[in-house]
Chain A
Amino acid sequence: MSLLKLNHVAVGFDSQLIVNDVSFSLEPGDIGCLLGPSGCGKTTLLRAIAGFESLRSGSIEISMRLVSSQAQHVPPEQRGVGMVFQDFALFPHLTVAQNISFGIRTQTQAEQSARVRQLLEHVGLEGYGPRYPHQLSGGQQQRIALARALAPRPRLLLLDEPFSSLDAELRESLATDVRALLKREKITALLVTHDQQEAFAMADKAGVMYHGKMLQWGTPYGLYHEPAHHLVADFIGHGVLLRGAITPEQGVATPLGILRGDEVPANAEGEAVDVLVRPDDILIDDSSERRAKIVGKGFRGAHYLYTVALSDGSQILCMAPSHHQYAMGEEVGLRLNLDHLVLFPAGYCDT
C-alpha cells in the first residue's frame, strides 16, 4: 500500500504547464526526494500535494484517499499533511512553544505541553520554548519549523528546500539529524531540493525533474549508477559522455578502447552511442598501457579530480588520492573500473 500516490499529475498556470504528467508513489515510512534545477516544477509539485495548487489533470492520493483531481480538491487544512517551508515561516508573534503547539491547539493543555517538550527534546532544543523565533539562529529556526510540522503527527511531511538558507556545514549535519528524527517518528516524507548531496543524505527514493517532467524515479544509488536519461547523468554527480560505436562482438569502441558489458544491445553493429564515464570508473595506474595526459586538476580535499586528455583529444575525469600528485602535462596510465556500462543514443548530449 502506498502512502502517497501520484497518477499522471499536471499543474499549470494560465497557458504554462509547470508540472507535466508526473507519476510516482511513496511507501509508508519512506523518505522521498524531488531533485532538479530551479524552475523545474518540483516546488509546484510539492505545493500541489499540500493542496495549494489545483491539478489540471491526473490525481493525487494520500493513504488511499483521493485528495486532488480535476473534480475534487481537498483543502490543505483537511489533508493531514505537514509542511516545512523554505523560509521556515515561523509565526513571529508567537513563542517557540506556541508555534509548535499551533497545530495541536484542540488537545488539552497537558497533552500540548507534553508533546512540545518531547519535540523540543527530539530536535535538541530543550528549554527554548519561551523564546521568540527572532531570538534563534537559522539552524534553530529550521528545527523549530520541523517540530511544528511534526506536532500533529501528519501522515505525510513535505519539506521545501528545507536546508537551502543554511550554510553548507550545518546543512549536512542537519540533514542526517532530520533523517534520523523522521525515521524515529516513522514519518513518510517528501523533500524538494536542488542539492544532490542533501538528497543522498536524506532519501530512500529520489527522482530527477526537468522542465516539469519526471525523468527518473528510483533509489539514489540507481540515479547515480544507472541513469535512465542523459540529463539525469549530467545532473547527478560528475561525468563525461564518450562517443563510441557498437562493434560486431557486442562491444563499444571508444577512445578508451573497446568496452564490454551486458548492456550493449545485440545486432546494433555500427550504431553510434554515448557512454557515461564517471570519475570513479577510472583509476590512475602507471603500469597501465592506456596513456593519457593531465590537462586539469582540482583539489577536493581527500582526493584530486583530474581532467585527462586521451590520445584522440577527448577528455575524461578521474580521481586520485591527494597523496599522489601529478603535475599538469604529465603522462599517466589509466585503468578501467567499470562494472557496468551506461549507454545513451549518440548525439543527445550535443543539444
Chain B
Amino acid sequence: MQAFNLLRNASLPGVALLVCMPLLIVVGAFFVGLFGAEQRETLAHLWQFVIGEYIHHTVILMVGVALLVSVIGVATAWLTTACTFAGVSWLRWALLLPLAMPAYITAYTYSGMLSFEGPVQSFLRAVTGWQFGDYYFPEIRSITGATLVMGFVLFPYVYLITRAAFIEQSRAAIEAARTLGLTPWQSFWRVALPMARPAIATGVTLALMETLADYGTVHFYGVTTFTTGIFRTWYGMGDPLGALQLASILLSAVVVLIVVERISRQKSKYHHAGRSQQKARPFKLTRGKAFAAFAVCFTPVLLGFILPALQLLLWSADQLHVWLEPAFIKLITNSVMLAVVASLVTVLVALWLCYGKRRTPTLLTRVSINFASLGYAIPGVVVAVGVIIPFAWLDHRIIDISRSLFGYNPGLVLSGTIVAILFAYLVRFLSVSIQTIDSGLAQIKTSMDESGRILGLNPRQILTRIHFPLLRTSILTATLLVFVDVLKELPATLILRPFNFNTLAVRAYELAGDERLAEAGPAALMIVLAGLIPVILLSRAMQERHNDKGAVVAPKVEEIYEPVKA
C-alpha cells in the first residue's frame, strides 16, 4: 500500500516531466548549440542566411493576423451581443464555423478558386473577353494570402472569448457611463471595449499561437517561416541539431505569447464589474443598419467557411469514385484508429493527473499539471522534433543492447512505429483533456464525496455511483475533442508517421501540394466534417448559457410578494 502511495505521489511530477521532455530537449539543444564549436557554426550559419527572413515573415504574418482577427472578432462579437437584426441568432453560431476548417485546407481551396483555371478568373475572362496576360490578378499564394486565410480561419477565437466578455459585462457599466454623460457610441469605446481588453488579448494570443504553429498554409503558399525552416533543415539538409535550434527560437516566441495570455487571463478576473443581474436589452437595428450589420457578420462566415466548404463539396462530388477505393478506406481506418487510441490514452492520463490533483492538492501537483498542460501552445513541428530525437537515440541504444544480448535487431521500436506519434499527440493535446476533465471534476464538490461516505458508500462506490455519472459528459467531450484534433493535426503527423503510413490530413496535404487539388477534396471534406463536431458542441454550450441568462420568465405572484407576517 505504501509503495502504491509513493507511486501515486511520484507519478504526477513523473508524467509532467515525461510530457515536458520534448520541450526540455528543444530548450536544451539551444544551450548545447552555444557550447559545441561545430554547433555554433551551424547556428551562425542559420542566423546569417535564414533566420532573418524567417523572423521578417513571421512578424508580418503575426501583425497581419492579429489585426485581422481583432477587427473581425471584436466587430462580430459586439454586433451579435449588443444588437438584434434579422439573422443574428443564426450568425451567433455560424461565426464559429470557420473553426471547423484547418487553415491548410482553407488555403488550398482558395488556391484552387483563385487560380488561373479556377472559377473566379474563368468568370472574369468569360465576362470581359481577356486572355492570359491581359490582366493583373493578385496572387493568393503569397504572404498576404497566407495572412488573409489565417485571419479568416482564426478570428473565431477572438469572437468567442470577446463575446463571452461582452455578455458578462454588467449592463450597469454601460448605463453608468451614460449617466456620466457619454453617448452610446462613446460608451462602447470608453467602457465596453476597454473592459473587454483582456479577453481580446487572450483571443488574439490564441490565434497567434496557431499562426506560429501553422505549417500547411505557409508551406503551401511558399512563405518561409520557422516551421517550414525546421522541415527544410531536417529533411533537406539532414541537420537535426539545426532543426532543434530553429525550434528553440520558435519556442521562445511561443513562450512570450503564453506569458501574455496568462497575464491577460489573470487580469480578466478583475474585469467583471459586479455580476450583471439583468442582461442588457440589445439595440434593435432596422433597414440599412440591419443590412450593414448582417453583411459585416456574414462576410467572415462566407469567406472563412461557406466558400471553401462549397469548393470542397464540388471537388468531392467530382471524385465520387475515390470514396470506395481501398486506399481511401485504408486512409480512414488509419486516421480513425490513430485518433481513437490517442484520445483514449490522452484522456486516461488526464484522468490520472486530475484525480491526483484532487486527492493531494499540493503545490507540486498543481505545478505538475500546469507543466503537463503546456503542450497546447507548442507548435506540432516543435513537439515532433523534440520527440523524434530522443526516441531515435533510445531506439539505437535498444538495438545495441538487443544485438549484444540476443544477437537480434528489433528495428526502430519507438521512432519507427506509431508509438512516437501517439506520444507526440499526448504532449500536444493533453491540456485539452485536462481542462475539460478538470472543470468537470470541479463541479463535483468534495462535500458530495463526504455525503456519499456518510450515506454508506465505499470509495469505489463513490467513484462508480457519484463521480462516473457526473463526469461522463466531460470524459466524452474530452475524448471527442482530442479525437478531432488528432484528425486535423498535420505537421507532427507528417514528421512522425511510420514509413508508408498515411492519414487523411497527410494525404489531403500531399495531394494538394502536388496540385491535384480536386483529388484532395474527399479527404479534406472528411476532416472538415469531423471538425464540425466540436463546433456544434461549442455552440450548444453557448446556447444553453444564453438561455440561462436571457430567459424572461414572468415571476409568479407568490415569489414577488411575500406578506410580512409575524
Say yes or no for A134: interface residue by CB 8 A criterion.
yes
* B276: chain A residues within 8 A (beta carbon): 87
Q: Which of A50, A81, A93 contacts B271 (CB 8 A)?
A: A93
B180 touches A148 (CB 8 A): yes
Q: How far is the CA of A91 from the CA of B178 in the complex (A)?
A: 13
**Chain A 119-143 near chain B by CB (<8 Å), digits 1 or 0:** 0000000000000111000000000
**Chain A 10-42 near chain B by CB (<8 Å), digits 1 or 0:** 000000100000000000000000000111100
Q: Is the interface of B mostly helix, strand, loop or mixed?
A: loop
Chain A residue nearest to B182 in the complex (CB): A77
Task: Tell me the residues in window 227-261 of chain A with beta carbons closer than 8 Å to chain B beta carbons.
Answer: 234-235, 238-240
Chain A residue nearest to B275 in the complex (CB): A87
* A152: chain B residues within 8 A (beta carbon): 180-181
Say yes or no for B191: interface residue by CB 8 A criterion.
yes
Say yes or no for B34: interface residue by CB 8 A criterion.
no
**Chain B 193-210 near chain A by CB (<8 Å), digits 1 or 0:** 011010000000000000
Say yes or no for B232: interface residue by CB 8 A criterion.
no
Say yes or no for B456: interface residue by CB 8 A criterion.
no
Q: How many residues of A contact B (CB 8 A)?
A: 46
Q: Which of B172, B194, B272 contacts A86 (CB 8 A)?
A: B172
* B172: chain A residues within 8 A (beta carbon): 85-89
B566 touches A89 (CB 8 A): no
Chain A residue nearest to B171 in the complex (CB): A89
A87 touches B170 (CB 8 A): yes
Task: Tell me the residues in window 194-226 of chain A with beta carbons closer than 8 Å to chain B beta carbons.
Answer: 210-211
B562 touches A37 (CB 8 A): yes
* A238: chain B residues within 8 A (beta carbon): 564, 566
A89 touches B173 (CB 8 A): yes
B561 touches A82 (CB 8 A): no
Q: How far is the CA of A34 from the CA of B560 in the complex (A)?
A: 16
* B272: chain A residues within 8 A (beta carbon): 92
Say yes or no for A149: interface residue by CB 8 A criterion.
yes
Chain B residue nearest to A80 in the complex (CB): B181
Q: Which of A89, A91, A132 contacts B175 (CB 8 A)?
A: A89
Chain B min CB distance to A191 (Å): 15
> Beyond A89-B172, A92-B195, A93-B194, is A75–B273 a contact (Cβ under 8 Å)?
no
> Beyond A87-B275, A92-B272, is A305–B564 a contact (Cβ under 8 Å)?
no
Chain B min CB distance to A157 (Å): 10
* B317: chain A residues within 8 A (beta carbon): none
Say yes or no for A304: interface residue by CB 8 A criterion.
no
Q: How far is the CA of A133 from the CA of B267 in the complex (A)?
A: 13
Q: How many residues of B contact A (CB 8 A)?
A: 33
Q: How far is the CA of A148 from the CA of B173 in the complex (A)?
A: 12
Say yes or no for B411: interface residue by CB 8 A criterion.
no
Say yes or no for B542: interface residue by CB 8 A criterion.
no
Say yes or no for B183: interface residue by CB 8 A criterion.
yes
* B176: chain A residues within 8 A (beta carbon): 83, 85, 89, 91, 148
A91 touches B191 (CB 8 A): yes
B561 touches A37 (CB 8 A): yes
Q: How far is the CA of A204 from the CA of B183 in the complex (A)?
A: 33
Chain B min CB distance to A89 (Å): 4
Q: How far is the CA of A235 from the CA of B565 in the complex (A)?
A: 9
Q: How far is the CA of A39 from the CA of B559 in the complex (A)?
A: 9
B270 touches A81 (CB 8 A): no
Chain A min CB distance to B165 (Å): 11
Task: Tell me the residues in window 68-111 of chain A with beta carbons closer than 8 Å to chain B beta carbons.
Answer: 75-77, 79, 81-83, 85-93, 102-103
Chain B residue nearest to A307 in the complex (CB): B566
Chain A min CB distance to B468 (Å): 38
Chain B min CB distance to A14 (Å): 9
Task: Tell me the residues in window 535-566 of chain B with beta carbons closer than 8 Å to chain A beta carbons.
Answer: 554-555, 559-564, 566
Task: Tell me the residues in window 138-193 of chain B with beta carbons closer than 8 Å to chain A beta carbons.
Answer: 170, 172-173, 175-183, 191
* B566: chain A residues within 8 A (beta carbon): 238-240, 279, 298, 305, 307, 317
Chain B min CB distance to A173 (Å): 22
Say yes or no for B274: interface residue by CB 8 A criterion.
yes
Say yes or no for A299: interface residue by CB 8 A criterion.
no
Task: Tell me the residues in window 260-279 of chain B with beta carbons closer than 8 Å to chain A beta carbons.
Answer: 270-277
B555 touches A75 (CB 8 A): no
> Beyond A37-B561, A40-B560, is A90–B273 a contact (Cβ under 8 Å)?
yes
* A348: chain B residues within 8 A (beta carbon): none
CB-based closest 7 A-B pairs: A87-B274, A103-B180, A89-B172, A39-B560, A134-B270, A85-B172, A76-B178
A-B contact pairs, 13 of them (CB 8 A): A50-B179, A77-B179, A85-B170, A85-B175, A86-B277, A87-B277, A89-B173, A92-B270, A103-B179, A132-B270, A234-B564, A235-B563, A235-B564
Could you list which residues of chain B lie within 8 angstroms of chain A, going by C-beta atoms?
A: 170, 172-173, 175-183, 191, 194-195, 197, 270-277, 554-555, 559-564, 566
Could you list which residues of chain A lie within 8 angstroms of chain B, going by C-beta atoms?
A: 16, 37-40, 50-52, 75-77, 79, 81-83, 85-93, 102-103, 132-134, 148-149, 152, 154, 165, 210-211, 234-235, 238-240, 279, 298, 305, 307, 317
